[in-house]
Amino acid sequence: MITIDTVSKKYGKAEVLNIDALEIPTGQSFGLVGNNGAGKTTLFNILLDLIRPTTGAIVTNDISVHKSEAWKNFTGSFIDESFLISYLTPEEYFQFIGDLRGMNKTDVTSFLSQFEEFFNEEVLAKKKYLRDLSKGNQKKAGIVAAMMGNPQVVVLDEPFANLDPTTQIRLKKILKTLTTDKDVTVLVSSHDLSHVTEVCERIVVLDKGVVVKDIVTSKETLQELERYFAV
């Protein structure tokens, strides 16, 4: 599904990312961990063609993201608040994204009804603009918007941060259903090792832009990761 081929990114002399080869098959739940500055967000930004790599290319579904824009039709993403339109209400925001993804009003309403539990009555019909919602509720809106329009790839940067424990558990359930039932490829980054090990079948550890571990998740993975990071 996604092939990362000798992708590197340099700012001046500083190299922030250097990945030789990484292959993410369809339907895999892929976790990215690493300390601050490891290059997680940079990799996601390159995948979404928001940053140009210094060398190499990312090919998703046979489309080189830098050359064609066709990947946008099947990729949903939420990286940070700049993916929200602050002056819209959540409903208007979902409708805007829905419009761009070819969903009409009924489609959007029925889509959102699946997430009633996830929203926990804190997002919809609150008569508030996105800018006035709490960080956690903003995140809920962004994550749900990333899943609109039946994407084949979903990219979420730090989805668990700022969420309350109940919502974290619900999000894990949602992400698992995505990969098992719908064969969606999910890419998640997180600082919380237990969350990623729970959600992801495969975990890649980045350190200063380089892949240092590539693990198929097992019972021992959490301990292994904790040992690695306990320096």
Partner 1 sequence: MISHFLKLEWKQFFRSASFGKSIALKILMGFFALYFILSFFAIGVGVYYILKKQLPDSDPLQVVNSFLLYAILADLIFRYFMQKLPVMKIKPLLNIPIKKNSLVNYVLGKSAFSAFNILGLFFYIPFAIVLIIEGYHTTGVLGWLFTMILTIQSVNFLNFLINKSNAAFASILVLLGSLIALHQFDVYNIASVGGQLFDAVYSTPILSLVSLLILVVLYQLNYKQLRARVYLDEGILEEVAEAKSVDLSWADRLGDLAPFIKNDIRLIWRNKRTKTVFLMSFLFLFYGLIFFTQKTFREMPAMLMFASLFITGGFALNYGQFIPAWDSAHYKLLMSQSFSYRKFLESKWVLMVSMTGLLYLLSFPYLYFGTEIFLIITAGAAFNIGFNSLFLLYAGSFNRKRIDLTKGGFGNTQGTSATQFLVVVPLMIFPMLLFWVFNKFVGYNSGFFVVAAIGVLGLILKNYFMNFIEKKYIRDKYAMINAFGKEA
Interaction site with partner 1 (CB under 8 A): 48-52, 69, 72-73, 75, 77, 79-80, 82-89, 91-92, 95-97, 99-101, 126-129, 131-132
Q: How far is the CB of 195 from partner 1 (least distance, A)?
A: 24
Q: How far is the CB of 157 from partner 1 (least distance, A)?
A: 11
**Nearest CB to partner 1, comparing residues 39 and 193:** 39
Q: DSSP per residue over the chain, as a string?
A: -EEEEEEEEEETTEEEEEEEEEEE-TT-EEEEE-STTSSHHHHHHHHTTSS--SEEEEEETTEETTT-SGGGGGEEEE-SGGGS-TTS-HHHHHHHHHHHTT--HHHHHHHHHTTHHHHTTSSTTS---GGGS-HHHHHHHHHHHHTTT--SEEEEESTTTT--HHHHHHHHHHHHHHHHHH--EEEEE-S-HHHHHHH-SEEEEEETTEEEEEEE--TTHHHHHHHHH--
**Nearest CB to partner 1, comparing residues 10 and 126:** 126
Q: How far is the CB of 26 from partner 1 (least distance, A)?
A: 20
Q: How far is the CB of 85 from partner 1 (least distance, A)?
A: 5
**Nearest CB to partner 1, comparing residues 62 and 92:** 92
**Nearest CB to partner 1, comparing residues 41 and 221:** 41
**Nearest CB to partner 1, comparing residues 117 and 132:** 132
Q: How far is the CB of 51 from partner 1 (least distance, A)?
A: 7
**Nearest CB to partner 1, comparing residues 82 and 219:** 82
Scanning the structure block, which residue is given the tokens 């409708």?
95
**Which amino acid would we find at residue 158?**
E
Q: How far is the CB of 61 from partner 1 (least distance, A)?
A: 13
